[in-house]
Every structure is written in C-alpha cells, then in structure tokens.
Amino acid sequence: MAETRTEALHQNAEGLDIQTPEAILASLANAQIEAAKAVHGAIPAIAVAAEVIAKQLKNGGRLAYAAAGSSGLMAVADALELPGTFGIGRDRIAILIAGGDNAFRTLAGGPEDDTGEASAAVAAAAIGKGDCLIAISASGSTPYAVQALQDAKSRGAATIAIANNRGAALFKQADVAILLETPPELIAGSTRMGAGTAQKIALNMLSTLTAIHLGHVHDGYMVNLTADNIKLRDRAVRMVAAISGKSRDDAARLLEESGGVVKTAILLAAGAASTGAAEKILEGTGQKLRPALSALGHDPEKRNPLFGKDHALTKK
C-alpha cells in the first residue's frame, strides 16, 4: 500500500520525543492550527453538500453519518447535537459507526474492515431514496465507510464523502466530495489529531449551514432549539426577549403560550393573532423567521426586526 498524506510523518516531527514538554506542546498546537486551515479549501464543496442535505430534510428525508474509529467519533459528536441545537427530530438522524454501540467503549480497529457490517447497518437503518448519507474517513479508504456509501448510493440516497487524502476511494461514487487536505500528523497516522480536528470543523460547518437553510438560525440565535433543561429553557427566554425586545417575563409568558417554540413566541410578540396564525406564517416562509417577521410588517433588514435594537444574550 502506497504511503498517503495521512500516514506520512510531519516535517517537524524529527526529534519530537527529546524536546522540552513546552516545545512538544507548542508543536502539537501548531499542527492542529495548520490542520484547521485546510477547511478553507473545502468551503465550496461544503456549501454544495449543505444544500443537498437541506433539500433531503425539507422533503422528509433523513440524514445518516457513516464512519469508523476517530472519524466515527467526530460524526457522533456532530450528529447527537442536531436535535437539541436545531430541533431536528432524532428519528431523522441515523448514526452508523463500525463496531456499533461497542465502539463507544472499545474503539477496536477490526470493525472498520467489516464491509458486511456496513451493508447490514445501511439496510437496518433503511437508508434509501430521499435520504442523505455522509461517509467520513481520514484515509478515504476505510472499508466500512466506503461500503456504507456505496450501499446508500445504490439504494437511492444522496451521498457526501469527507476524507483527508486527495484521490480517495471514498470520493469515487460520492455525489459531493469534501477534501480536507490536512498536513501529515506529528504522530504519523494518528488522524485523531489534525485530520480529526479538520473533520470536526467541517462537520460543524456543514450541519450549521444546513440548519440555516432550514430556517433554524436567525442572526446567531438557534431559534429552533429543543429547550429540555434549565439552561436551554433560560436560553429560549433570552432569545425571545433579545429578538422581540420584550421583557424576560413577557418572553417567558409568550413561550408558555407557544408551547416552548421560540419562533412562534417571537411571532406572537410581533403581532401574530394566535399560535395557529404564527405557525401558518412560518409554514409559508419555509420556517424562516426573518421573512415571517416581514409578513407581519417588520423590517427584515434590521438585526432586531421588531425594534431595530441590538440585544445581547446575557442575563440582566
């Protein structure tokens, strides 16, 4: 097997083990920063991928992640946040990781070679037409990830590949290929480091842009969050107050009236006659708050459409 970029040794690795602890840590930090910069070159592909995912989700499809090893952990970290942060239903997200649930306790290497397990996972999740699968692999040749993408594509799903090596096998059948051309690792082959960092950033960017397309973000506010704990319920109150200009007490009352739905509460503050009327407006705007506020006569160009003020998400 020819040496790939993810298996090569970083140019600054010579003598790493005999450097001072401070010098070692500085090199490790700099290598992470270098790796993060690789994401910039992937921005056009990430933008296309986000449109693909948003289209599938808008039409009732699901989003699946398929990966092994540290790439699988990056996938899990992104996928598990989507329901809480953006209100995407848990039944709309599928996580396919080599080794299954055991991977969270023992990240063994063997399962990443098991193409049969990958095929079984895609079939069990019923990934197919209308869905989208993201396959992630630093090398771009991990058998589990490649097989999962191939099976998903053959079943009619849209496919996105994320890898850190140019010309990766994972890219060959993907609808969208996202190349994160990170430098070699300081610890050769330890892709949990630079490659994993770049994957995490790219996945965060991809899912966040998707959420923006779906109307789940207004300015920098996660207006479609699931407020299921004290911290998030408080955040919801502060968001409604910040965007509407209402007091915290009024914001809390409006949230109670809306059943905890932030966008509905904001539209009630903006003059919607009822929760039903607010929901109907949002249906007409594709769940996007800014045009919904415009429909109620508020200036959509202002940061705060209701009062034209800047409100911070801080406790008063």
**Residues labelled as active-site residues:** 81, 112
Q: Which of 170, 171, 147, 174 is nearest to 158 (CA)?
A: 174
Token match 């009327």: residue?
Answer: 277
260: nearest Cα among 229, 286, 288: 229
Q: Hey, how many other C-beta atoms are within 10 angstroms of the C-beta on 8?
A: 14
Interhelix angle 194-213/69-79, nearest 10 degrees: 30
Cα–Cα distance for residue pair 205/182, rounded to 1 Å: 17
Query: Interior CA angle at 298 toward 293 and 301, to 5°?
Result: 90
Q: Which amino acid, one-letter code, is at 229?
A: N
User: Among candidates 204, 223, 205, which has minimal Cα distance to 81?
Assistant: 204
From CA 206, how far away is CA 25, in angstroms rounded? 30
Amino acid occupying residue 145:
A
- Sequence-distant contacts of 247-251: CB under 8 A, at least 24 apart: 248/316
